[in-house]
Amino acid sequence: MDVHLLTYDLSRGLARQMSQGMLGFHLDAIYHTSIQLNGREYVYDGGIVDITPGTSHLGQPMERIFLGRTELPMEVIEEFLDSLRPIFTIEANSFAQFLLGKGIPEHIVKMPDAVLSSPFGRMLMPQLTQAMTSNRQNGSILGIQNGNTADGHSAAPQPTRPQANVKVVHSSQELDAALESAKKTCAIVLFTSATCPPCRAIAPTFDELSAEAGNKAVFIKVDVAQLTPLPEKNYPRATPTFVTYLHGEKENEWAGADPATLRGNVQLLLQMAFPRHPHESLNLPSFSNPNARPVLYSKVPPLEKLLAKMGATSTESAVQGVKQFIEARDKQGPAAATLPNLGQFAEFLRKSIHSLPTEVLFPVVDLFRCALVDARFSGYFAEEKDHQTVLAILKFVNSHSDCPYALRLVTLQMACNFFSTPLFPEEILRNEGLRAPIIQLISSSFLDDSHNNIRVSASSLMFNLALASNKARREKTGDVLPEGDSVELAASVLEAIGQEEKSPEAMQGMLLALGNLVYCTPSESEVSDLLRTMDAEDAILAKKKQFPSEKMISEILFHASFLCTPFFCLINWKPQAEQSPASSRGVSSGAQPQQVWRHCPGNSAPPRYLPIGQHSKQARPPRPGMWATHRQRYREILDEITTTLRGLSLDPRLMPSAVFEMPQLHSSASTPSLRSHDAPVKMDGGNVRVVVRVRAFLPREIERGAECLVEMDPVTQQTTLLVPNDSDPANAKAKSRKIIEEKTFTFDSSFWSHDLNDKHYAHQSDVYNSLGEEFLDHNFEGYHTCIFAYGQTGSGKSYTMMGTPDQPGLIPRTCEDLFERIEAAQNETPNISYNVRVSYFEVYNEHVRDLLVPVVPNQPPYYLKIRESPTDGPYIKDLTEVPVRNLNEILRYMTAGDRSRTVASTRMNDTSSRSHAVFTIMLRQIHHDMETDETTERSSRIRLVDLAGSERAKATEATGQRLREGSNINKSLTTLGRVIGALADAKPGSRKRSKDVVPYRDSILTWLLKDSLGGNSKTAMVACIAPSDYEETLSTLRYADQAKRIRTRAIVNQDHISSAERDAQITAMAEEIRVLQLSVSESRRREKDNKDQEEQLEEYQNRVVTMQRMMEERSLVAEGKIRSLQTENEALRLHLKLALDSLKNPIPAVTVKPAPEEGDETKEAKAVQEDKENAEDGESLYDDSDDTAYDSDVMEDNANDMQDYMRSLLSDLGMFRRKIGDDKDRWVGDVVGGAVNA
């Protein structure tokens, strides 16, 4: 859209006439400006007014200046204007800055200051102020708002009622189409008639309700006389008749023109179509306040000191302009502050990021932070192209793990001030490129446990982001925070809440941010799953003791309970004091367990029968005081439900045939499989196989006297996590949470590797025999397999996967067994050929590095790129795949890759893996059957993954590079958890819907493991746990428990080829080779022809260049000749002119009288002699008064001679002209002929 500046002269010409005498300088006009955009004129007159251009009482504009074009949509522009209404001012310069990035002409901007700074202006200032104040009280300064425009409409914006949105249909087909558009919402149809008086009476109410409902419902009006009767359609004939539809199904029908009935039914329909969220029924003033405002940091520091820290850069015009803007806004208010040149300041900021040292960047960003408080200033950067300026600052801070405290703090506060305009939240929620650095800044800042202000500012920024997303979700306008980002923020803030021990302000900010993040979140969302998985309720409740005066804890627990805990926790539940001793911890050996129906709809758990005393996460009784205000009412309702159910007589066929109990899984670790390699291998269903292994104590755990909190049953494969000891400092967090019950999990196998003297101790060979051997069988059958180890840092993952030279792990044993089987198979059946290739890479800081490529010293690492094939899925481009023929070769490559892995020492592990390593073996089997002459080819892949351990920054005391590595490790593992959660099947009877989108691409690791996790692969997970760390072990066990429900779709990757098919393929390939050879020959011939043509073209170009050079040289020579001839010709013309003038106007000769002493004869002789000389030279001196000289014979002779002389000159001049013409024609002919010959 074109943007024009309209200028008016308020003095109506007086300024031009009288300004010089009254002010001492000249003024063209007293300018009043406005902006013309999209056919409307935006002008300030005590408020922002839009009118038809040139229709105010000011008349037509004095000048119309084109400022440029803007690509901003009108919705954004209108929203920007609305955001400035609280300031109650806008001037054309600010509006132009927002639209185009540049202001209006300088002489117009500086005119008011120039006038008011003059003596006459200072004298008029009181009268001007008084006049402006009195006019402002009337709502207008210039009278634009109070008057009507030329088109008859008031220029001031008037509040309007919402317009009715009623679809008027005229046929059955249009009615069906309108109902089809309301299948996802609801619709109400009014069957009316043009001759029906009640219809005309109810129509205004119908229109009013449609306007109030907006886009929540479709209102349809149809004339029954225009509907074609159809056999399958039973349209009502009475009018008025109303029919409502809910999600495409007919819901209600009634007749009559009662407005109250119509309004009540419409409201009920809207409530059914859009039910209220349970959170909205709670008393949560901190989260349900629709007028909540974001946190802004508006404090202005001493600007002189701030600029002094910037050094020489503080003198730049961009900095000085922003400084003056901040000072004017701080002292006189936003209305008096004129925007500086924002484009120039943005360029200065981007340049400073790369040119200034880090310590000088702090005052630059702080200056930017102070200016962003103004909605006009932040609105410009919200609509900046690609958000170059703010992204440069955010990426710079995020990329420096050792970023100074002051710079990180002001960057967080700067990001908070983004929310001073409504334009920035929409851009952040819509644009992932802008949102991702902000979320990264929040997550990394929560890890700073040494600066309270950092955590407070990070919680404020997260609060602003969650508030904007929550507002968009409730109002259903614009984009909301994506679920993946919500999960990441929720995990970060929960981790920060658990670690916060010092600052009440930080705790309050984190709770507010978390509350707004989960307020009105769907109970089936990933955020709800995360809160339940991380036991958010316990983590927040544990802070009640450390922060007793924090009221926000109770409020957030009350509304988070709708997401974290069941609404009806127990039917027939009794308080712990009323339970029998036998049921408090378990059931005695001789007693039959009593069956109770424990229904937990809040967790979407199915109704199931469980023995009392068996601890279940879903069946956990509520804590005392949790529902204190509602407990009595709930008990009454539950008693009524129980009485009703007991009185029912149900058909036995509808009852379950047996009690639902967890099936027992027998240990495969205590009884290793001795099956033959040729026997088929079966896996239960397609689920991921999950095993758990506990390691032995480390020296530091022995020193502190740690207890083993893990128990394993080798028969039932149950793993139990015991209640931690209060004296163990490593479990201080668990102590604060008051853990009172054990946690029990059941996996496919449980490997007890804690005590070597135990008879059930699982060695490395036991793990391989139970897991690795079975998966190698699948590979020989043609299946892809994957085994990955998961656990916290220092839990024994690398030992399980790689092992030691004395105790090799899964990977070396798999390689050894692989070649043993290949050798045995080739000895038995020589018609089978095998081909083995290996690759080894690591995922380090979300980059892929090839471990089989040697590292070049003093050179940056080379990272590989990931591509995705439509058939084979994600793959790594240019990854090294080396063929191996025996065990020694594969072990050599494995050892070389292990030396290249990134490891470091942390507090939790001396040799902590800082990357995820993936060792892949590609096996190809080709079997030729001599009897049937068929060839079978099987291709399989063995992917062995050693994941880096999840870690807490506080526990590992990581800083700098180690902190960044840990952050990326946790990010990829969190994404892996989200992928597992999305792929996991819902529990039996659960109402949880399967998710359509699995966030594979949110992490490099999950993207590469896409096929292994949810595709064509048989997958196993080894959950490695530490024996003494309660929190980390519990998190790992929950992680593994969720992975059990993943189902993969593994298929055999093989091809059968008969002899006929093989011959046909050979023939087809030979034909294809012949065609390709012909194509290559033709391509080479074309290349040769093209090369020859290029050489000829180059030769022609060189000749043309030579000819052009010759033409230029000849042109220069010819121009020189022409100039010399023209000069000579001009000289001859002048000579001829002088001669003709002398002939036409002869000058009489002057007679010189002789001296007195000389005689007369002497004088006469001299006179005669002089006359002769003058006659010979053609020059005579005449006296002005002597006319007889014209009649003398001498003069006649002289004139005749002169005429003859001039004729010869003219003849010579003609000859010269002909010569010049001949030379010019000959030169042009030579040049043209030379060009043609060339």
Q: Which residue positions form the known binding site for ATP? A: 791-798
Residue with the two structure tokens 């950067």: 381
Helix runs in 29-153, H state only: 74-84, 92-100, 106-109, 111-116, 119-137
How far from 73 is each of 2, 77, 79, 90, 96, CA to CA, in Å?
Answer: 12, 7, 10, 19, 15
Give SS3 for 691: strand
The CA distance from 45 to 1116, in Å, is 68
The CA distance from 106 to 436, in Å, is 39
Helix, strand, coil % (nearest 5) of the chain? 50, 15, 35
Task: Determine phi and psi for 1108, rounding to 5 degrees.
Answer: -60, -40
The CA distance from 302 to 299, in Å, is 10
How far from 210 is each of 160, 165, 205, 274, 863, CA to CA, in Å?
Answer: 15, 6, 9, 16, 59
Residues with Cβ within 8 Å of residue 257, at least 6 apart in sequence: 198, 199, 201, 202, 240
The 10 Å CB-count burial string (b at 16+, else e) for 48-66 is bbbbebbbbebeebbbeee
Give SS3 for 456: helix
For 870-999, where are the E strands, in sequence order?
Answer: 873-876, 882-884, 903-904, 912-913, 916-929, 934-946
The CA distance from 1040 to 692, in Å, is 8
8 Å CB contact between 553 and 511? yes
Task: Determine phi and psi for 21, rounding to 5 degrees.
Answer: -75, -35
Give SS3 for 615: coil
Q: Could you tell me how far CA 152 lies from the centroid of its own chain?
A: 47
Q: Which two tokens stand for residue 1026?
A: 């530490």
The CA distance from 894 to 818, in Å, is 15
Q: Which has the closest alpha carbon to 646: 638, 634, 658?
A: 638
Beta-strand pair 847-850/832-844: antiparallel
8 Å CB contact between 981 and 1042? yes
Radius of gyration of the chain (CA): 47
Task: Give the count of beta carbons closer than 10 Å to the beta carbon of residue 1006.
Answer: 24
Residue ranges for the binding site?
791-798
Q: Which two tokens stand for residue 808?
A: 């090799």
The CA distance from 855 to 117, in Å, is 70
8 Å CB contact between 1053 and 784? yes
Sign of CA dihedral 359, 360, 364, 367: positive
Q: Which has the closest alpha carbon to 90: 129, 145, 34?
A: 34
The CA distance from 429 to 438, in Å, is 11
Residues with Cβ within 8 Å of residue 534, at least 6 apart in sequence: 491, 494, 1035
DSSP of 952-985: -HHHHT--HHHHHHHHHHHHHHHHHHHHHHHHBP
> H or E stretch including 848?
strand 847-850
How far from 138 is each of 44, 267, 813, CA to CA, in Å?
Answer: 15, 41, 90
The CA distance from 868 to 810, in Å, is 29
